[in-house]
Chains A and B, each alone.
Chain A
Amino acid sequence: MADAFVYDHVRTPRGKGKADGSLHEVTALRLAETALRAIATRNNLEKGSVEDVILGCVDPVGEASGDIARSAAIAADYGFQVPGIQINRFCASGLDAVAAGAAQVMAGQKDLVVGGGVESMSRVGMGASGMLPAVDPSVAIPSYFSPQGVAADLIATKYGFTRDDVDALAVASHKKAAAAWAEGRFAKSVVPVKDVNGLTILAKDETIRPNTDMQTLGGLKASFAMMGEQGGFNAVAIQGHPEVEKINHVHHAGNSSGIVDGAAAVLVGNKAAGRKAGLKPRARIRGFATIGSDLALVLTGPVDVTQRLFARTGMTMKDIDLIEINEAFSSVVLRYMQAFDIDPAKVNVNGGAIAMGHPLGATGAMILGTVIDELERRDLNTGLVTLCVAHGMGTAMIVERV
């Protein structure tokens, strides 16, 4: 089996995913094009040399419809020979896109691919493509479907995280993200989004609030209490986990991932393709896995998939230097650290989606890039990236520097 290497990665800054966000005027296509063009240009990729562009996109409708990956490759001037495929595993799509590309490289069927993702949540809108698992009784009922916020509250209740616990993690996320930007830790990878004249529209993540503190967050009302009670979802959650007597609603907009716009691209290839393009590998993809996990908890997949990936690679948590786990909701991260008894100093060291936002289809590729940059900066070796996924799934990948 061939090794799959990460040769480079880029991401756009994340713009607030609302009508007053800086990237609201930019199409999803243009976001994806920005990332693809940047990674090709700075690595001097020969036109037509990329064999596939695999992009995660969770709501591939409207302006993100019709296989946006192929459209983005054409818009980024990759050459008509370069195909594209859009995939969707909800929040892990961006990481799954990289994994899908790596798998084909490892299997010897492709030499050089781009994986990544794009989401314009301000323009297309979360849920614009519908949500079958919530709607069709034939799957919603056996799935114990409940909205993710209710599931995140169930996780907090079941595993004993208080409102202070989840708020403290959010405060830390903003502080770490602000510090990382101040020190230029993202400078290597974030490419500005520009207009047709070359004027910069956005160069920095725009949802970080460095001054957020426990008091500010403490004033926010729990977001999912009414929905959980009136919509029947609390009862569903409790039927899934009868040892829980009552759902403690602790999550709100301040300790959940932000809604943002953004795109990312990761260049993956085998050794020969790198040599041919004159590139030095930055990391080797050691392994990756996906899994289905508890349906009522929805968001605990990272724990299960990490166990599967450790079993597959023969590794343990001791072998991991840095971890990026997507901050979909505070309790997801807290549960992960609790399950493996992880030192918080190793986790999301530059902040996460609570501070910088979660552009659904792109986040997996973004935080993979974040962990590689940070391994280099700290001169450490091994990183693990994982995301929880709607409808009870998880994806994880381990990379190591070469």
Chain B
Amino acid sequence: MNLTHFRFETDADGIALATWDSPGKSMNVIDQNVMAELNQIIDHVVATEAIKGCVITSGKEAFSGGADLTMLQGLGMEYAKLVKTKGEEPAMAFFFEATARLSLLYRKLETCGKPFAAAVHGTCLGGAFELALSCHFRILSDSDKTRVGLPEIKVGLFPGAGGTQRVARLMQTGDALQMLFKGDQIKPAAARSMGLVHAVGPRDQIVQAAKEWIKANPNAKAPWDMEGYKLPSNKVHSPAGMMIWPPANAIYRRETSDNYPAAKAILKAVYEGLQLPMDLALRVESRYFAQILRTPEAAAMIRSLFLSKGELEKGARRPADIPPTGQGLFAQADVRPDHEGPCQDRGPRCAARTHHAIGGLFHAQGL
């Protein structure tokens, strides 16, 4: 194997340890090179008879922040180019294949026939947590710094590498939807009690515990790939499902006014996916993922809330000569505390409220 992002060693018991430690970076991020190396590792573990299984861990202070959003943005630009040169359908075929690749890679890991375990310390979010979810065993360090979660929804996306399907197969549907909608970063103890991970332990023992688990479970399979697996909330179309889905759809509308394509896609992917075996369920998820990635909502949210977040917070594009306007909240969001000058609103009372909300730095004027 030719690896630069991972260190790979196999111990005397035949348990491999893949330590993710991308050179020259403070945080591991999933990009095309990392995916290619992970693919090599899976192939190598499967092909090498002496290797019983593999633990994946990180060599950094955090596990990983997930997928490189600029990579997704790059795929979007490639797609736009292809639409112009080759037409809509070939462009879409390329885009779907490219955006489903990570999900297929994780599914390959999950079904490779040998046990994989994730030993996680520090932040493990998004695509990185989806990697952990595709492993047969997940153990977290009990450190205060350890957090897992699927925050994609916060930038207008959703977990597109198996997250919606595996979470919905690990916990009650209502809880799964709530987790996917909120995108919270979850502490180790909570993750354990939610059923997202199998164990929590001291940082210096998680790799050893993962190895022990592999030794004890040489033929590991995901629960949903085992004979007789039952969904946590029974079938979708069942009396139990009638208690879950109608309010879930209503609450989606209540919370979003139906203006949040990614949240709606989560509902659809989980609803449809839970009625399918895993491989097809993942394909459905990938189809929605490719759709959502192309929405203007996702593009705008990735730009504003992730890529340009720093600039946004500095008020980089705010015209200097326009006074802050509107009912307090707008103005508060729009203005730096060191701004001086007038604030204006549609009448003296509103302007006074704006003035009050911001603080004492301005004088108010009605329009």
Establish whether residues A135 and B271, one from each chain, have CB atoms under 8 Å apart when the complex forms.
Answer: yes
Q: Which residues of A contact B257 (CB under 8 A)?
A: 239
Q: A138-B268, A239-B257 are in contact. Are A231 and B246 (CB under 8 A)?
A: yes
For residue B242, CB closer than 8 A to chain A, the reply is yes
Q: Flag A138-155 by CB within 8 Å of B: 1 or 0 each.
A: 101110111100000000
Q: Which residue of B lies closest to A237 (CB)?
A: B250
Establish whether residues A146 and B250, one from each chain, have CB atoms under 8 Å apart when the complex forms.
Answer: yes
State which residues 173-221 of A face B: CB under 8 Å.
none
CA distance A144 to B250 in the complex (A): 8
- A141 touches which one: B237, B241, B242, B264 (CB < 8 A)? B264
For residue A134, CB closer than 8 A to chain B, the reply is yes
Q: How distant is A296 from chain B, measured CB to nearest CB, in Å?
A: 10
For residue B247, CB closer than 8 A to chain A, the reply is yes
For residue A233, CB closer than 8 A to chain B, the reply is yes
Q: Which residues of A contact B264 (CB under 8 A)?
A: 137, 141
Q: Which residues of B contact A314 (CB under 8 A)?
A: none
How many chain A residues touch B (CB < 8 A): the figure is 22
Q: Which residues of B contact A231 (CB under 8 A)?
A: 246-247, 250-251
State which residues 238-289 of B face A: CB under 8 Å.
241-242, 245-254, 257-258, 264, 267-268, 271
Establish whether residues A135 and B246, one from each chain, have CB atoms under 8 Å apart when the complex forms.
Answer: yes
Establish whether residues A130 and B237, one from each chain, have CB atoms under 8 Å apart when the complex forms.
Answer: yes
- A140 touches which one: B236, B237, B245, B254 (CB < 8 A)? B245
CA distance A144 to B251 in the complex (A): 11
Q: How distant is A134 from chain B, measured CB to nearest CB, in Å?
A: 4
For residue A232, CB closer than 8 A to chain B, the reply is yes
Main secondary structure on chain B at its contact with chain A?
helix
Q: Which residue of A lies closest to B253 (CB)?
A: A236
Q: A130-B237, A135-B241 are in contact. Are A141 and B246 (CB under 8 A)?
A: no
Give the one of B247, B253, B257 with max A CB within 10 A. B253
Establish whether residues A135 and B253, one from each chain, have CB atoms under 8 Å apart when the complex forms.
Answer: no
Establish whether residues A141 and B253, one from each chain, have CB atoms under 8 Å apart when the complex forms.
Answer: yes
Establish whether residues B258 and A141, one from each chain, have CB atoms under 8 Å apart when the complex forms.
Answer: yes
Q: A130-B237, A239-B253 are in contact. Are A137 and B268 (CB under 8 A)?
A: yes
CA distance A130 to B238 in the complex (A): 7
Q: How distant is A247 from chain B, measured CB to nearest CB, in Å?
A: 13
CA distance A140 to B244 in the complex (A): 13
Q: How distant is A308 from chain B, measured CB to nearest CB, in Å?
A: 29
CA distance A145 to B252 in the complex (A): 12
Q: Which residues of A contact B268 (CB under 8 A)?
A: 137-138
Q: Which residues of A contact B241 (CB under 8 A)?
A: 135
Q: Which residues of A contact B253 (CB under 8 A)?
A: 141, 144, 232, 235-236, 239
Establish whether residues B252 and A147, one from each chain, have CB atoms under 8 Å apart when the complex forms.
Answer: no
For residue A41, CB closer than 8 A to chain B, the reply is no
For residue A343, CB closer than 8 A to chain B, the reply is no
CA distance A137 to B251 in the complex (A): 11
Establish whether residues B237 and A134, one from each chain, have CB atoms under 8 Å apart when the complex forms.
Answer: no
Establish whether residues B245 and A135, one from each chain, have CB atoms under 8 Å apart when the complex forms.
Answer: yes
Establish whether residues A145 and B249, one from each chain, have CB atoms under 8 Å apart when the complex forms.
Answer: yes
- Return the 6 tightest CB-CB contacts between A and B, nearest first: A232-B250, A235-B254, A232-B251, A231-B247, A137-B267, A140-B249
Chain A to chain B contacts (Cβ below 8 Å), 14 pairs: A131-B242, A135-B249, A135-B271, A137-B248, A137-B267, A140-B250, A141-B258, A144-B253, A146-B250, A231-B247, A231-B250, A232-B250, A236-B254, A239-B253
